[in-house]
Amino acid sequence: MNRRRRVYEGKAKILYEGPEPGTLVQHFKDDATAFNNKKHDKIEGKGVLNNRISEYLFQKLGEIGVPTHFIKRLNMREQLIREVEIIPLEVVIRNVAAGSLSTRLGVDEGTMLPRSIVEFYYKSDELNDPLVTEEHITAFGWATPPELETVMSLALRINDFLSGLFLGVGIRLVDFKCEFGRLWEGEQMRIVLADEISPDCCRLWDIETQDKLDKDRFRRDMGGLVEAYQEVARRLGLHVDNP
Ligand code: C5P
């Protein structure tokens, strides 16, 4: 059994105290949830795939100079990360209309957006993660104006890079959610990419067939989620043992 101190348990991940001060172990569970936990299931192998895919994407982003919390993968389900102070925002970047944008604004799913759109949602389960504006964020002090500027420019860089990376393997990055944190190094603070980037928090469509290779398969009861995530891993050239 796990005797490490549990720092936080979320819907799909657990954070444990890490081996060194300032580090945490991020554990990927097989739980799948949607609609703020109203729909919940366990999908064997999902955690292993997300751990591997997120590791790969964070490493690639690190290589192009995007600062991240990622240190190294420890095993099939766990990675070592730096402890950060999470900025309570879900940052969503959209390239193609889908999901809540289509519902909210009546834009047909699949419509290419004239440019990438960045949205902010306030992280609060009780409030169902409401859409908020920069005015709310800075007025309520969730992030300062310069922090928000950094978040915005990092989010767009991440989107540019990942869009190209996925396009190279025949996948359209329709939209994705990412989170950022404050990493303190003495008196110095840097904003870094945190959490995960995996098919759980992206919409990924096959360029040719428009097949969904992401968590919409679970949200929309389409089945074949693990096979879809495996396909993403395979195209990225990742070997995942018995997910
Ligand atoms: O549902 P919506 O269209 O707003 O989702 C936009 C993107 O953000 C999708 O890729 C979805 O997977 C992701 N997302 C997420 N976690 C949430 C809300 C959305 O990963 N709580």
Give the domains, in start order, of the chain with CATH numbers: 6-82 (3.30.200.20), 85-224 (3.30.470.20)
Distance 185 CA to ligand 1 centre (A): 31
For residue 176 and ligand 1, the question of a CB distance below 6 A is answered with yes
For residue 154, the model assigns a pLDDT of: 98
Kind and range of the H or E element at 133? none
For residue 175 and ligand 1, the question of a CB distance below 6 A is answered with yes
Tokens representing 205?
Answer: 């469509």
| Ramachandran quadrant class, 135 (left: phi over 0; alpha: psi -120 to 50; beta: rest) | alpha
For residue 57 and ligand 1, the question of a CB distance below 6 A is answered with no
Mutate to test the pocket of ligand 1, among 119, 175, 215 (most ligand atoms within 8 A of CB): 175
For residue 215 and ligand 1, the question of a CB distance below 6 A is answered with yes
For residue 92 and ligand 1, the question of a CB distance below 6 A is answered with yes
For residue 127, the model assigns a pLDDT of: 97
Contact 20, 70 (CB under 8 A): no
For residue 99 and ligand 1, the question of a CB distance below 6 A is answered with yes
Contact 238, 52 (CB under 8 A): yes
Of the candidates 238, 196, 233, which has an alpha carbon nearest to the alpha carbon of residue 213?
233
- What is the pLDDT tens value at each position of the chain, 243 positions in all? 467 999 999 999 999 999 999 999 999 999 999 998 899 999 999 999 999 999 999 999 999 999 999 999 999 999 999 999 999 999 999 999 999 999 999 999 999 999 999 999 999 999 999 999 999 999 999 999 999 999 999 999 999 999 999 999 999 999 999 999 999 998 999 999 999 999 999 999 999 999 999 999 999 999 999 999 999 999 999 988 766
Q: Cα–Cα distance between 100 and 106 in angstroms, integer?
A: 9
Q: Which residue is closest in CA terms to ligand 1's atom 3?
A: 99
Predicted model pTM = 0.97
Residue 189 to residues 71, 85, 87, 163, 183, Cα–Cα distance (Å): 18, 10, 13, 28, 6
Tell me whether 0.90 is exceeded by the ipTM: yes
Of the candidates 158, 181, 9, which has an alpha carbon nearest to the alpha carbon of residue 81?
181
Nearest atom in ligand 1 to the alpha carbon of residue 100 is: 3
Tokens representing 96?
Answer: 């193609």
Nearest atom in ligand 1 to the alpha carbon of residue 98 is: 3
For residue 3, the model assigns a pLDDT of: 73
Distance 71 CA to ligand 1 centre (A): 25
